[in-house]
Amino acid sequence: METYKIAENKIFHAAGRDFIFLAEDNTIFEMDDRIKGILKKPCHAEEFTQEDAFAKLSCPPEEKNELFDELIRSRALVSSKGKSDARRIDFEKMSIQLKTLVLHVTDACNLGCRYCYYGDAGHAASAKAKMSRKVAFRAVDFLMENSVDLKEVVIVFFGGEPLLNLDLIRLIVDYARKKATEKEIRIDFAITTNGTLLNDKVIGFLRENNIGVTISIDGFEKVHDRFRRFPNGAPSYGAILPGLKKLLADKEGKPVVARVTVAGESKYIPEILDHLLSLGFSEAGFAPVTTSDLSYQLSLGEMEHLLSHFKMLSETFIDHAKRDEFYGFTNLVDNLVVLHEGERKDYPCGAGLGLFSVDTKGHLYLCQRLTGEASSCMGDVFSGFDRLLLSRFRQQAFISEKKACTECWVRKICAGGCYHEALVREGGLAEPNMHYCQWIKDWVELGLSVYGRLAVECPGYLEKLSMLRGHEPLMNHSI
């Protein structure tokens, strides 16, 4: 006789309703009274028969077959024989479909941010290498050749401070557009900049070419200038503000987003977000600094403090949602969209899958944060990918290979965490980020609570968030 068990799950309560999050499938369902008797059992490892299940379903006898079948289809109940979807992957034969290429157009930077993970902060801009036209054009060709049958690709300009090599960026945009037209695909551009070189000429170029802009800024003047200074020690906030205001005042182009590095302490997070939104940023996201330097690294206490701030901002987000308004708290938006889309992650991000980074010499790395790190080099744009190294990395980084993550209920969301963070804090690219493990669980649990409240109190709002991130509309989850 076939037996069943409750799928691994996390049950949560929000807005007076009960919900269940299925860990293996990354899906959320609201539970009604008919199924609570079976799904709210304390141990998902306990086995039972269909007859046992029928005894716990609170509905008329003629409805139990249909309801039981629905629980099977939704995978809230699974066969007790084990995972039926266990996959065997030939990593050496995994395809490479390149969608996003990050170009380090220069190693130079005109700031000397104290916590910077890339290079030696404070070195003169003239001492750093710049990407040549030859490397840049070959990188564009490489993107086109390896995008396979994709209809859209992305080039991101990075550094250093990429605007120090604006002349090359102009050439790349023109060349890439020509190549994309020849291949009949769409190409988008983005840039991450410290904002110090923004002027009318630069802003005009960014807007004319519809280039998405991310500004690295840590908040209002007092906070930003703690660590983000020029090499001579001069503060940078005042130098950024005039050009930044001009950029943000122009509403014709893509929305401008802010990236905040949280270092040393996690004070002022709500004030920082409100300040950045008041300047005109559409969104701002917060990232704890990645470093082994205790001077900047957030302690466990500071991480808990950060989460308390995130909880406060989540309440503000909900208040805005009830008015059908958008509150640009990037961290929560991303959290909610991942939950709503139900993507089952085998890897934490697109690094080494559809995204790679190119240094000034043309070497290929897993991502922009790992550019220059020998263990993350996967070939170059002239000779191509080192497929053996890449397949080896993909196997090591696969979530099922991370033994510490096997029983974690957020494994299909986190997938072990950032590779750069793992290298710096755990000693290896494919190591799970155990130092943030509990924090991630708490953050996802907060996301689930917000998700449930929005699903009940603001029907349709989650769809809007998902579409904002470029996803197709979904049906709401329910059983």
The reply to whether 142 and 45 lie within a common domain is no
Question: Is the pLDDT reported for residue 134 higher than 60?
Answer: yes
- The strand pairing partners of 192, in sequence order, are 214
Contact criterion met (CB below 8 Å) for 340 and 393: no
Q: Same structural domain for residues 257 and 182?
A: yes
Does residue 181 share a domain with residue 312? yes
Cα separation of 183 and 449, whole Å? 45
Using the 3D structure, point to which of 341, 375, 400 is the last residue of a domain. 341
pLDDT at 124: 42
The per-residue pLDDT for range 396-450, each reduced to its tens digit, is: 999 999 999 999 999 999 999 999 999 999 999 999 999 999 999 999 999 999 9
Confidence of residue 127 (pLDDT cuts 50, 70, 90): low
Whether residues 283 and 148 fall in one domain = yes
Residues 21 and 126 in one domain: no
CA distance 274 to 264: 20
What Å distances lie between residue 99 and 133, 162, 255, 336, CA to CA? 21, 20, 22, 24
Element (H, E) at 89: none
pLDDT value at position 212? 97
pLDDT score recorded for residue 472: 63
Scan for tokens 């750069």, then name that residue.
Answer: 420
Cα within 13 Å of Cα(33), Cβ side: 4
Q: Which pLDDT does position 106 carry in this prediction?
A: 97
Q: Specify whether 66 is located in the same domain as 154.
A: no
432 near 422, Cβ under 8 Å?
Answer: yes
Q: What is the model's pLDDT at position 363?
A: 98
**Rounded to whole angstroms, how far apart are CA atoms 323 and 316?**
11
Residues 228 and 329 in one domain: yes
- Is 48 within a domain? yes
User: Residue 276 sits in a domain of what CATH number?
Assistant: 3.20.20.70
> pLDDT at residue 244 above 90?
yes
Q: Which residue has the higher pLDDT, 188 or 55?
A: 188
Based on the structure, what is the number of domains in the chain? 2
For residue 39, the enclosing domain spans 4-79
357 within some domain: no
Q: Domain boundary at 315, 341, 367, which?
A: 341
| Residue 454 vs residues 130, 185, 479: alpha-carbon distances, Å | 47, 37, 17
Q: Which of 181, 155, 178 is nearest to 98 (CA)?
A: 155
**Does 454 reside within a domain?**
no
71 within a domain of the structure (yes/no): yes
CB 390 within 8 A of CB 352: yes
Domain edge (last residue) among 79, 107, 139: 79
Of the candidate ranges 73-82, 165-174, 308-317, 459-468, the one whose mean pLDDT is the lowest: 73-82
> DSSP label at 235?
B
Is there a single domain that holds both residue 150 and residue 28? no
140 located within any domain: yes
| 344-357 pLDDT per residue, tens | 999 999 999 999 99
Instruction: Kindly report, residue by residue over 254-272, the tens digit of the pLDDT.
Output: 999 999 999 999 999 999 9
Give yes or no: residues 203 and 311 share one domain. yes
Query: Is 428 inside any structural domain?
Result: no
| Residue pair 267/299 in contact by the 8 Å Cβ criterion | no
251/157 same-domain check: yes
Domain co-membership, 232 together with 288? yes
**What count of other Cβ atoms lies within 10 Å of the Cβ of residue 174?**
11
**Residue 270 is assigned to a structural domain of this protein:** yes
> What is the DSSP-derived secondary structure letter of residue 379?
E
Residue 230 CA to residue 442 CA, distance in Å, equals 37
DSSP state of 93: G
Examine the domain organization and report whether 44 and 142 are in the same domain.
no
Q: What is the pTM of this model?
A: 0.92
Residue at 85 is within a domain: no
Q: Is the pLDDT of residue 232 over 90?
A: yes
